[in-house]
Structure 1
Amino acid sequence: MGSHRIAAIRLDEERLAADLAVSEGFAYNDSYADFISTGLLRSTMLWNGTGTLDESALGDYEGAARPTPHGAALPYISELIGTLFRTEHLKFARFMRLAPGSVYVPHRDFLELKNDMLRIHLPVQTDDNVYASEENTVFRMRRGELWRLDATRTHSVGSFSDADRVHIICDFTAESLDQVLSVDVTPEADIPAGNVAVRPPLGADGRRALLGLAGVLDPRNYQDIRTLLIKQHFLTDVSGDEVFTLLKEIASAGGHEELLTRATKHEEYCMVRR
């Protein structure tokens, strides 16, 4: 596993609640809509290269990040970022709000960048009905835990919660956590067993049932079937990479060449190049 928990930190509940209340009034963007199969992911930049809200997507640039107006409007979260990290290596910090019932399409990040980046998540609002994954491991990132996420590997998120999941996501140009962390912690080497979700095998009958969706697939329910397959990834031992494999097999078995092409192109965009 490339992803792992770094440490659990103590949050100032009163100050965090004040920042979360302010964030409700932010103007969010949907820059990552291509990676949402169902639901809603809203994001806004807290730190970036220009210090403006106009720069809403990741990109290469020289120098360190600067706070945006939204970053400046969240004094406690900005203080956390400045205290936990060496911000001279920070390129982007984003406030990501995932709506209940939303699922990410499995994908890999940083494909469009020249420089390697290191990503850290800090969940500030979540519960145990929200899952993340890397390849074929599904796990929970709990509130107040710092996580190193290897975004170069296939990963996804699935919310089965009734509330928004809110994460602070920071991207750095660095080769190791030692270059990034400004607090004295010994990062954990793996995902704690208590954070890992136990999923039963899909089994031969389950796989046949999913492939049987070829009999009902059409352009009007393509996205629904893709979403069902992604949810199956979080419920059984279907890997993130297998989601596209199953989707293409279903489209092929149903004789839908246009949907097979659509799935193949989307897989390439998510996994190979963009």
Structure 2
Amino acid sequence: MVRTRNLIDGMVIPHKDFVELERSKDQYFRVFIPLEDNEYAFHSDEENVFQMKKGEVWFLDAAIVHADINFSNKSRIFLCLDYAFPGPFSPKDVFINDSVYNPNLDPTIIKREEVSSDFKESLVTSLSKVISKYNFRDIVFLLSKIHFYKNISVSDCYDWLVEITEKSGDSSVYNKAINLRRFLVEERKLGERFSFNFSESEQLV
């Protein structure tokens, strides 16, 4: 499958792909080719925050937790190619001329700020006092951004969200947080969708 992706002043929140598919995750291979980049656009995975530069060809393991963001209103356009191989393969198999394949290039890794020992506890306590059905989505997106500039794991946002909602005492937002984490990083059924809206009985008037 081939797609172009243009992200402007937006974010793809942390998630795993392929979790709903039956075939082994090792048989899927995702390639990104940056067509237009900018200094405010970033990607992340379970190890680093990094920038993909125009002229590079990237393999992204979409079966682990990953995210991307563009903090600016400048374009960030990528070509995304998803491959499904029937058996063992090498990354160089996607090149017509495999002599150009060079896995030893140094990527642009972003240095992030270290967090203090009480950072998480302070954040969880503060947000637990304000989270509600009114701002659940906003807080999810806020938490999802932190790892781009603070040295924490890309998936911490969902564990923290669960703690925040549990501490809030609101069972509806707690259950929504549990379901969101399951859907995005644990497991989901083929064709399943998640909505940030609450059920009819919980709808805001």
TM-score bucket of the superposed structures, by smaller chain:
0.7 to 0.9
Partner in structure 1 of residue 177 of structure 2? 263
Aligned: 1:165 with 2:80:
no
| CA distance in 2 between partners of 1:189 and 1:144 (Å) | 15
CA RMSD after TM alignment: 1.5
Structure 2 segments unaligned to the other structure (5+ residues): 189-205
Q: CA deviation at 1:205?
A: 3.6
User: What SS does the aligned partner of 1:251 have?
Assistant: helix
Aligned: 1:113 with 2:113:
no
| CA distance in 2 between partners of 1:236 and 1:258 (Å) | 29
* Native 8 Å contact 2:2 2:81 kept in 1: yes
Q: TM-score with structure 2 length normalisation?
A: 0.82
Give CA deviations for 1:131-175 in whole Å, capped at 9, x if unaligned: 100114100011121000010111001211221211100011233
Aligned: 1:207 with 2:120:
yes
Partner in structure 1 of residue 141 of structure 2? 227
Aligned: 1:236 with 2:138:
no
Partner in structure 1 of residue 57 of structure 2? 146
Give CA deviations for 1:51-106 in whole Å, capped at 9, x if unaligned: xxxxxxxxxxxxxxxxxxxxxxxxxxxxxxxxxxxxxxxxx000111121x12221
Partner in structure 2 of residue 137 of structure 1? 48
Aligned: 1:98 with 2:7:
yes
* Native 8 Å contact 1:125 1:167 kept in 2: yes
| CA distance in 2 between partners of 1:94 and 1:119 (Å) | 11
| CA distance in 2 between partners of 1:263 and 1:200 (Å) | 27
Q: CA deviation at 1:120?
A: 0.3
Partner in structure 2 of residue 12 of structure 1? none
* Native 8 Å contact 1:136 1:238 kept in 2: no
| CA distance in 2 between partners of 1:137 and 1:217 (Å) | 29
Structure 1 segments unaligned to the other structure (5+ residues): 1-91
User: What SS does the aligned partner of 1:182 have?
Assistant: coil
Residues matched between the structures, number: 180
User: What SS does the aligned partner of 2:121 have?
Assistant: helix
| CA distance in 2 between partners of 1:161 and 1:136 (Å) | 24
Large movers: runs of 4+ above 4 Å: none
Give CA deviations for 1:248-271 in whole Å, capped at 9, x if unaligned: 111111112111111111111111
* Native 8 Å contact 2:34 2:55 kept in 1: yes
* Native 8 Å contact 1:136 1:237 kept in 2: no
| CA distance in 2 between partners of 1:252 and 1:136 (Å) | 28
| CA distance in 2 between partners of 1:208 and 1:135 (Å) | 22
The amino acid of 1:188's aligned partner reads: P
